[in-house]
Amino acid sequence: MNEETTCWDDVSDVLAAGMARVLLYGPPGTGKTFAALHFGAPGGAAERIVCTDDLTSGEITGTWMPRGEQGFEWWDGPAIRAWCANEGQGGRLVVDEVDRASGDALATLLAVTDSVESSRWRHPDTREWLRPGPDFSVVMTSNVDDLEEIPSALRDRFPVRIRVDRPHPAALERLSADLRVPAENGSLGPAERRVSLRAFYAFDQLRDAYGPRRAADLVFGPVADHVLDALSVSAVS
Amino acid sequence: MSVIYPELASGRGDLRAGPWLVRAGSALRGGASCQLKERILEVPLEAGARARVVRAHELMHARVSPLAEHFGACRDLPVRALECAEEYRVNALLSRTGFDVGLLADGSEKAGGRSLAAAGEWAEAACFFVAVAGTGAERAFLAGVRQVRPEWAKALRILGRRVEAVVASLATDVMASTRSGEDELPVGFGRSTLEIARVLARVMDARVPVSTEELRTFRRSLEPGGRRPVTGRFALLVVDPRPSLVEGTGTSAIRRPRPSVSGTTLRYPGRLVFDARRRAFSTRVTRRAGVVVIDQSGSMEIDPGEITRLLRHAPGSLVVGYSHRPGDHTNAPNAWVLARRGCVASDFPVGNVGNGVDGPVLRWAASMRRRSEPLVWVTDGQVTDSNDYPDPALTDECAQLVRLHRIRLVRRVSEVEKVLRQPTPMTPFELRSFGRVGRRLGELRLV
């Protein structure tokens, strides 16, 4: 019918085909992470890393943790857990906000998201060399509108990049019927008037309890009137 | 500075979703707009209740208004009527949604009403009235009109009530629906805007009613199934620009040699002996041609066979037929050339609708006439306006044209050839058989 179906169809098709490296980017609040965590993950489970400026490689591959008076024990990070998930077959690793990763973390991400053949990592505790399982897959997400903002080496590892600019239909289904279309289009505008799906969830929930006026005030603050006007017009048919 | 959310408001099945470009406009009339296809919204961004309703008005356009191609599909209606009817629908929907449409006025309406009335712009006054009906601008506009032409205000109020009745029975969701209907037009547009535009188009054409009786007739003409109102003027003449003419095949020689008792060329010397009148010379006789205008309206009951015979016997003439469909605004041809100086139409419309363009077609025919060749009008003497009402002023106009251009009237197509061959003036007795025009010509003759 229109673009929204197409972009999510693309995501669905790519994940269903077992594509092991996918980059989803576009405005926030459209359900990229939700899709990455739930659609096509081997064994139904996925590990997640949220990148920040302070992300360390320890939060990716693992870290030594104190264990009472007996010293330290090694805790695998999400990347290694995903490598070894499903009895060594590999699982899904979801890397959110990948454009924010920097320094050591980025280097580690490059290493762990490389192809199954090229990746290997020595376990600090057991000293054995680990490789990702054959079903290991990575879905990265980013809120950038321009792919150039993502490091080229990382981009190179993700040949399939899909711009997701609207919420997933399944995510919209959780909203009241009159809010679905506005929520679907709310992410299309420029940043200053973009309304995320999360805001709609909150508005929907509060509206049931306190009515639309109060709910709009609580969620949308100074622009509540304008959002309510648009919603009134939208609900006319 | 206000923020407007066209993306939230404009979700509809017939329009590809996408980001809108918002430009700063104003709350003054004409200062805000919505371009659906380009997704551009021009609205006042300042604070204030009126600016807010103007923004909502444009958002409503973004939500329910039809695309340009839908307007284009309604070729039988004036674009201005459609635009103003759509304004009415948008304002009515805004009102039903809870917006205070009383704020939709910028103070210019009274002066606007005065100036339209002073300029005699009835059609535009009717359109503008519908566009602002139900809003805060309605009363001021009517007051301005009333100052100059009180009779217009009465007719406009009748129009207002009729338009209100069109949408009163429609549910809001139907009125706003952008779903495609059986006619492939959006349901809301088809059920409300189009109906209002039809009423408005009739009113735009109508002669402004003045007397109580005229007002009653006017009101009835706006009711569903009512006959179109009196317009008191001819329709625009549209001559078919592409007639299918072929070379004439009948006795088409226009100048023929004829034996004569005098001349410069002794062409038939034998006749000096054998012809009792001794017509030995040759002279060229020009077969008479002329301009023939044929009223092909329903009342004439013209047999197409008669036209075919005429075309065979008078191919050198310019023959034009006419008949206007009452209320037609599509610019469909209402006149067509049947023969033009040797070429004749292989096929021609039957007509059989109204007259509507008697005066314009006579003027056109007179302008096409060559020197003193005869101009013949096949008519029953009935002259009607664009909605097929007889009108004394139009009858008089045609009678004056007949006198001015010495147009010969005949009742039947079969009489044309004889008149072309031997043009004779009409007797007062003959004039009586030409209905209103004949009577008027009789009066003019007496004067």
**Could you please report the per-residue DSSP string of B264-320?**
SEE--TTHHHH-TT---EEEEEEPP--EEEEE-SGGG---HHHHHHHHHH-TTSEEE
CB atoms within 10 A of CB B357: 27
Residues, chain B:
447
The answer to whether ipTM exceeds 0.85 is: no
Which chain A residues are closer than 8 Å to B176 by Cβ? 236-237
> What is the pLDDT averaged over residues A131-157?
89
Q: Say if CB B336 and CB B345 are below 8 A apart.
A: yes
**Type of residue numbered B343:** C
Q: Which helix (H) or strand (E) holds A39?
A: none
At B21 the pLDDT is: 94
Q: Give the pLDDT band of residue B254 (cuts 50, 70, 90).
A: low
Burial class (CB in 10 A: 0-12, 13-18, 19+), B270: exposed
Average pLDDT of chain A is 89
Which chain A residues are closer than 8 Å to B62 by Cβ? 233
pLDDT above 50 for A4: no
**Cα(A235)–Cα(B5) distance, integer angstroms:** 14
**Cα(B366)–Cα(B362) distance, integer angstroms:** 6
pLDDT tens string B195-226: 999 999 999 989 999 999 999 999 999 998 88
**C-beta atoms of A229 and B59 within 8 A:** yes
Between A41-45, A184-188, B48-52, B372-376, the lowest mean confidence (pLDDT) is in A41-45
At B255 the pLDDT is: 59
**Cα(B160)–Cα(B165) distance, integer angstroms:** 9
Strand B40-43 and strand B255-260: the pairing is unpaired
pTM > 0.80:
no
Facing residue for A188 by CB, picked from B18, B64, B99: B18
Residue B23 pairs in a beta bridge with B42
> What is the pLDDT averaged over residues B9-26?
89
pLDDT above 90 for A217: yes
> What is the pLDDT averaged over residues A16-26?
89
The proportion of chain B whose per-residue pLDDT surpasses 90, expressed as a percent, equals 66
At B178 the pLDDT is: 94
At B340 the pLDDT is: 86
pLDDT tens string A66-91: 888 778 899 999 999 999 999 999 99
Residue B294 pairs in a beta bridge with B321, B378
**Cα(B109)–Cα(B140) distance, integer angstroms:** 6
At A3 the pLDDT is: 46
Which chain B residues are closer than 8 Å to A236 by Cβ? 60, 63-64, 93, 96-97, 172-173, 176
Would the CA dihedral through A169, A171, A172, A177 be positive or negative? positive
Residues, chain A:
237
**Which tokens sit at B441?**
């010509």
Closest chain A CA to residue B20: A189
At B317 the pLDDT is: 87
**Which tokens sit at B283?**
């002279």
pLDDT tens string B346-361: 888 888 899 999 999 9
Would the CA dihedral through A160, A162, A167, A168 be positive or negative? negative
**Strand (E) positions, B4-103?**
21-24, 33-35, 40-43
Facing residue for B11 by CB, picked from A184, A192, A232: A184
**Cα(B33)–Cα(B58) distance, integer angstroms:** 6
Q: Which helix (H) or strand (E) holds B200?
A: helix B194-205
**Which tokens sit at B338?**
């049947």
Q: What angle do CA B442, B444, B447 make, to 5 degrees?
A: 115
Burial class (CB in 10 A: 0-12, 13-18, 19+), B165: middle
pLDDT tens string B271-318: 989 888 888 998 776 656 889 999 999 989 888 888 888 888 776 889
Q: Give the pLDDT band of residue A206 (cuts 50, 70, 90).
A: very high
At B249 the pLDDT is: 57
pLDDT tens string B130-147: 999 999 999 999 999 999
At B26 the pLDDT is: 94
Q: How many helices (H) and strands (E) does chain A have?
A: 11, 9
Average pLDDT of chain B is 90
At B252 the pLDDT is: 43
At B216 the pLDDT is: 93
- For an interface test with A, give the residue of B3, B5, B46, B65 to mutate (most A CBs within 10 A): B5
Q: Give the pLDDT band of residue B187 (cuts 50, 70, 90).
A: very high
Q: Establish, for the pair of chains A and B, how many residue pairs have beta carbons separated by less than 8 Å.
A: 100
Most confident of A103-107, A190-194, B107-111, B372-376: B107-111
Q: Say if CB B91 and CB B79 are below 8 A apart.
A: no
At B286 the pLDDT is: 60
**C-beta atoms of A234 and B3 within 8 A:** no
Q: Give the pLDDT band of residue B256 (cuts 50, 70, 90).
A: low
**C-beta atoms of A189 and B5 within 8 A:** yes
pLDDT above 70 for A115: yes
**C-beta atoms of B19 and A190 within 8 A:** yes
Q: Give the pLDDT band of residue B2 (cuts 50, 70, 90).
A: confident
